[in-house]
Amino acid sequence: MIWLTWRQFRAQAITGVAAVALFAILLAVTESHMTSLYDASGIVGCHGGACTGAANQFLTNLTSGQGVSFLPAGANAYVILYFLSVLFILIAPAVVGSFWGAPLIARELETGTARVAWNQSVTRTRWLAVKLALIGIAAMAVTEALSLVQAWWAAPIGKAVGLGGSASIMGEGRFGQFVFPSHGITPLGYAAFGFALGVTAGFLIRRAIPAMAVTLAIFAVVQFVTPLWIRPNLLPSSHTIATIAAAGANVTSVFTITNVTNVTHAGSPQFALSAAAVPGQPGAWITSSGAINVAGQPVSGMPAACASVTPGNLGPGGSAVLNNCLASHGVRVALSYHPVSQFWPLQFAETGLFLVLALALAWYCFWRLNRRFSV
């Protein structure tokens, strides 16, 4: 059965390995140049606040493509490579699910070859078990390989971001919506789930092409829903109430008044406050934040005194003057967040969730194959 599975899967396996190789080559040819930019930025051996400056310098150089001799200036080669590579990892499970998973059973039912396989001296359960195990592991390996190659290539960016560098659209932290699901062990969970989803869709629909489309659609929905509603709630989040003053001199960069409107409601302008960082918790992932008043109630109406000092500060952004005025009127920020120490627990929780879903789908396939079966 292993031989047959391999014989049928051979061409797809070669395609998969070729894709990983091409991906690695594309990144490898630029890796040494990125490392040289990193070494030249002064991050290595920096101390204290100088590190953030050096990290920002590195990210700026990287974004603007400075010193990229082999490309025209401003080509943004690294930005394009960075996002393409992350995107590739994110869609890999969907591709694997629809091109390896969906036809796995569907094609055999469509062409009638399932009857050939099921009339050899091998039970259907074994037939499916070998296919699921071998190709499922291949799917996980390919996706994780992409992730590891990208992580190796992007390591300097990660270090710079870790040092507080944010002067780039590549400056997404470890909990970022692109970074989190494409690094660590989450690609394993997504690959297993995408593959099992494809197999199940193919089994239910019994036609490979529609099953591929359904797999892509469902996976896209899952990828959209997960960071919004599932990931923040996988583990209990920490809560804190921060006073605006607690941020001290750095007040504007810690708390951003994201939206001050001069639409008066009950006599005062509306404002919304959200936090960009948690005091004392660098790198934490803020899942929700908002302004509360002295009594701890959510507040959106501007205190009258602040409304009078803000005419010039209305509009997105706010200012230190406005922040200080809000703070002096007892406005504080309520925060829910996952500290950076939750990174691996969240990785395990999310990977575990999708592995369990994958196993549930696989179990359903076995059940259907043996109980409600008909070709």
Partner 1 sequence: MTAVIETAGLGKRYRTLWALADCTVSIPAGHVVGLVGPNGAGKTTLLDLATGMLAPTTGAITVLGGRPAAGPAQLARVGYLSQDAPLYTGLSVADHLKLGARLNPGWNADQARDRVRRLDLDPRRKAGTLSGGQRAQLALTLAIAKRPELLILDEPVASLDPLARREFLQDLMETVGEHQVSVVMSSHLISDLERICDYVIVLVDSRVRVAGPVDELLATHHLLSGPRRDPASLPDGVEVISASHTDVQTTLLVRTSGRVLDPAWMVSELGLEDLVLAYMKQAGASRNRHLEVQK
- Nearer to partner 1 by Cβ, of 3 and 229: the residue is 3
- Nearer to partner 1 by Cβ, of 249 and 375: the residue is 375
Q: What is the DSSP letter of 303?
A: P
Q: Token digits for 161?
A: 């971001």
333 beta partners = 242, 291
Taking residue 258's Cβ as centre, other Cβ atoms within 10 Å add up to: 15
Least separation in angstroms between residue 5's CB and partner 1 is 10
Residue with tokens 């970074």: 179
Least separation in angstroms between residue 374's CB and partner 1 is 5
Under rule CB under 8 A, residue 21 binds partner 1 = no
Piece in contact with partner 1 (CB under 8 A), picked from 44-52, 227-235, 337-345, 365-373: 365-373
- Nearer to partner 1 by Cβ, of 120 and 243: the residue is 120
Q: Within 226-265, which residues bind partner 1 (CB under 8 A)?
A: none
Total residues in contact with partner 1, by rule CB under 8 A: 24
Piece in contact with partner 1 (CB under 8 A), picked from 41-49, 91-99, 200-208, 366-374: 366-374
Q: Within 101-140, which residues bind partner 1 (CB under 8 A)?
A: 111-113, 115-124, 126
Task: Judge contact between 291 and 231, C-beta under 8 A.
Answer: no
Euclidean distance between CA atoms 136 and 366, whole angstroms: 15
Least separation in angstroms between residue 132's CB and partner 1 is 17
- Nearer to partner 1 by Cβ, of 123 and 308: the residue is 123
Task: Judge contact between 314 and 269, C-beta under 8 A.
Answer: yes
- Nearer to partner 1 by Cβ, of 263 and 375: the residue is 375
* Sequence-distant (≥ 6) Cβ neighbours of residue 296 within 8 angstroms: 241, 334
- Nearer to partner 1 by Cβ, of 100 and 255: the residue is 100
Euclidean distance between CA atoms 53 and 59, whole angstroms: 10
Alpha helices (H) along 65-123: 77-96, 102-111, 113-118
DSSP E strand boundaries for 80-191: none
Least separation in angstroms between residue 17's CB and partner 1 is 19
Least separation in angstroms between residue 201's CB and partner 1 is 21
Distances (CA, A) of 70 to 66, 82, 153: 11, 17, 18
Task: Judge contact between 322 and 309, C-beta under 8 A.
Answer: yes
Under rule CB under 8 A, residue 69 binds partner 1 = no
- Which helix (H) or strand (E) segment holds residue 338: the answer is strand 332-338
Q: Please give the single-letter amino acid code of residue 66.
A: Q
Least separation in angstroms between residue 107's CB and partner 1 is 10
Least separation in angstroms between residue 3's CB and partner 1 is 5
Binding site for partner 1 (CB under 8 A): 1, 3-4, 7-8, 111-113, 115-124, 126, 371-375
